[in-house]
Amino acid sequence: MENLIFGAFATLDGYREGDAANLGRTVYDRCTVVALCSAKAQNPACTVALLTNAPVPEPFRSQLTQGGVEIWDCPFTTYRVPADTNWALAYYKLCAMAWVLENRDFARAAMLDLDTFTQRIIQIGRADDLWRECDEAVLLYQVPHAASQAMTAAISRCFDAVEPDGAPHALTHFGGELVAGSRARLTYFMSLCRDYFEELQAKGITPKEGDEAVWCGAAYRSLLAGKPVRAANAYIFRYWLGGHFYYVSTNYTLDPVCILHLPGAAKDRQLKLIYNGYARRG
């Protein structure tokens, strides 16, 4: 295949999915249909797949396959952390990226979070903008957090513990909602992720910040090695839509991004509305 778009979902007894742990499986299955069926509808030439370690229940399985989404069995055998770790299941995204590199043939890949909605083909000026950039760099969403923001600072402290020389470091905060690159660039990048994760584990450190801590540490090392990592913010943006804090923006329609990331409360609000409309219309 030329270009692959995929998302990853895992479930394990006793494991949790961050602060939204009690939303229930159905909420995540609805989001999965919205995320991957919209990605396929906007990018029909791409292979779009769900990687999961568990059977997908009906009607969601049929909705995915009828929407052109493939379902691949990917066991959660690497990047496992203790079940009571916040964002323990988010580490499955690292496992899934490693799995596709080992088990599928593709030129370029983009892994999306499953609380996303793709509103247009992955492009800005040309139909292959993202994929062109993938040949030159790994792309990650850059979270607009200052170095002293609590989560960003915690990610940097994890790196300080592994590499005390030069501490305190100020790592760029990258999110895990989009990880993209060419096969060669992702292979190198994932080797950095594996090494950094193993070093954290050897120090007895399991970041509460989930997969984002590992992406950030690997990105920092990649940049130091002269292997570029770029912000993917021209293609995806994170919109908080909660009652007490939300982001007001026009970039969903003016010079629009391709993918809307709708975390938190939107899983059971805005994304539920999109799913209900899709289920009615198909």
> What would the pLDDT profile of 118-149 be if each residue is shown by its tens digit?
997 765 445 578 999 999 999 999 999 999 99
Lowest mean pLDDT among 67-71, 185-189, 255-259, 274-278: 255-259
Q: Which residue is associated with the tokens 């997908």? A: 56
Flag whether pLDDT at 86 surpasses 50.
Answer: yes
> What does the alpha-carbon distance between residue 62 and residue 56 come to, in Å, rounded to a whole number?
9
- pLDDT tier at 19 (50, 70, 90 boundaries)? low
- Share the mean pLDDT of the chain: 92
- The answer to whether the pTM exceeds 0.85 is yes
Q: How far apart are the first and last CA of the chain?
A: 26
H or E element at residue 134: helix 129-134
Q: Quote the CA–CA distance of 58 and 71 in Å, as a whole number.
A: 13
Q: Span 180-202, mean pLDDT?
A: 98
* Pairing state between β 47-52 and 174-182: unpaired
Q: What is the mean pLDDT of residues 62-82?
A: 97
Instruction: List beta partners, residue 52.
Output: 9, 73
- CB atoms under 10 Å from CB of 222, counted, come to 20
